[in-house]
Amino acid sequence: MARGDGGQNLVLVPGLHMVVVATSTSRFPLSQDNGHDRLLQQIIEAVLETSDTAEMVAKTDLKPETESGQSIDRLAPNYVFSTPVPQDILDFFHQFARDVVSKDKRRIAANYARAYETNKDAFGRAILDTPYPLLFSPLPPHLEYVHITKIRIENNRAYLRGSMKFDYINIFAGLVGVWPLENLIKLKGRWKWLGLPEKTALLDRDDYFDAELSEEQQQFVDDCSDPLVGGSSLFANDCFSEDFQLAGGGRELFAERLRPFLQGRPDGKLHVTGVQRNGTAYRVRGYIEGSALGELQLPNDLHIIKENGVLKWQGHL
């Protein structure tokens, strides 16, 4: 898609072998809903009435939302598909567009997996190789269109190829708001952005997927993963059972044994890939990411137990 001053539009629809051109002039800035998106949709729908590719272009009838008494009246992005796209993937993009328009950082963040990574330059500034940094700015640009050329779904994995365009231009950085689509991962029943195609190696690993924990278990892992892998925490003592024993010793010995592998690497991260009930406890499977040796598998006898009504780390039972 190309848009010019005053309402000039040039739109390619590869899935229908179609080019749509609209010309107009305006001495004043055009409103967000200027009619061009609706016109494009009507043209596509008219073509589809006699086409066998009706399932390849999605309708964009996003209903307005009302938040805090204010109506959000924005059209959904245009969708152009060169291949059939499942409804749940389309629903993901609908929700993603709504969350971006809301400007609610928590809603936007819910569309990204915790393993999602952004690249930074030598000065620690985010590199705009994805739209992620812009979406957490005070005025995130809205999503204008999504073009999917290829899609492959395997269980919790969705490999996407194509592009998406946001209402953003930065001439000095050479950006026109178009970025390649990234891969998706389904966690807790919801599709989320995982990252650029370089992440494909992660998607191919079954043991990558974090377990779907209960809210209580997830909160415990979030709060107590750092103390387990040797990190500091004011509440570290609250994370371990009174008789914690693991790998032949107590908590201090376990941390001591981990220290050589994590030395100089403050970003050691715990991944819980499975929990299995073992009586009243849960046996934990997973690994520690970021060690000097790569990934360290957790000991087989690590458990989560409930002690005095509070979850704790426990070793041997």
Report the 10 Å Cβ neighbour count for 148. Answer: 24
Residues 6+ apart with CB under 8 A from 270: 221, 225, 226, 228, 229, 286, 287, 288, 289, 298
What rounded mean pLDDT belongs to the chain? 75
Given this structure, which CATH class describes domain 210-314? alpha beta
Q: How many residues does the chain have?
A: 317
- What's the helix, strand, coil split of the chain in %, to 5? 25, 30, 40
pLDDT in tens, 43-77: 766 766 655 544 554 554 444 454 444 444 445 78
Residue 140 is predicted with a pLDDT of 92
275 or 202: which leads in pLDDT: 275
* Position 38, amino acid: R
**Average pLDDT for 150-175:** 84
Residues 6+ apart with CB under 8 A from 35: none
- Tell me how far apart the 2 most distant CA atoms of the chain are, in Å: 77
DSSP type of residue 131 = S
Assigned token pair, 293: 């040796």
Q: CATH 3.10.450 in the chain, residues?
A: 58-206, 210-314
Residue 102 is predicted with a pLDDT of 92
**122 pLDDT exceeds 70?**
yes
Residue 92 is predicted with a pLDDT of 95
Assigned token pair, 114: 């915790």
61 or 220: which leads in pLDDT: 220
* Position 233, amino acid: S
**Average pLDDT for 82-110:** 92
Q: What CA–CA distance (Å, rounded) separates 234 from 224? A: 11
User: What fold is seen in the domain 58-206?
Assistant: Nuclear Transport Factor 2; Chain: A, (3.10.450)
Does the reported pTM lie above 0.75?
no
Q: Are strands 143-154 and 78-81 parallel, antiparallel or unpaired?
A: parallel
pLDDT in tens, 278-295: 888 999 888 887 666 566
| Residues 196 and 185 sit within 8 Å (Cβ to Cβ) | no
Assigned token pair, 245: 């024993």
* Radius of gyration of the chain, Cα coordinates, nearest whole angstrom: 24
